[in-house]
Amino acid sequence: MKRISLKEVFSDERGKIESINAGIPWRELNKFTSEAGTARGGHYHKESVELIFVIEGRVEVEVKDVKANKTSKFVMEKDHGIIVNPYEAHSIKILEKSVWLNALTKEYDKENPDIYN
């Protein structure tokens, strides 16, 4: 798992452009909206790398390296995110109504979902 934040790419009088993460070939991009008190995730992938980047709100994230049996737990807020690698189980507890971007290096396939508990 790697924590990430926005990196300014360009700025002028019109505003700025910020990069979430360059260099990873994402195959699918999703927008999540979740209500406070709910949860998401609770799984890991064997093949896909996953980006979780908070646009608004606040979430508590738990990431467990399934192979090394190491767990990290922390809170993410607006403009912060993580990259979750294969075999890193991730659970997200929504602390306040939140919106985040989720990107995957492998498109979701109902027949072969690459989601494991």
Residue 48's domain is classified under what CATH number? 2.60.120.10
**pLDDT category of residue 21 using cuts at 50, 70 and 90:** confident
Strand partners, 116: 44
Interval 27-80: pLDDT, tens:
999 999 999 999 999 999 999 999 999 999 999 999 999 999 999 999 999 999
Total length of the chain: 117
Spatial contact of 29 and 101, defined as CB atoms under 8 Å apart: yes
48 belongs to a structural domain: yes
36 belongs to a structural domain: yes
Residue ranges making up the domain that contains 37: 2-104
**pLDDT category of residue 15 using cuts at 50, 70 and 90:** very high
> 14-20 contacts: CB < 8 A, separation 24 or more?
20/51, 20/53, 20/81, 20/101
111 belongs to a structural domain: no
pLDDT at res. 77: 97
How many independent structural domains does the chain possess? 1
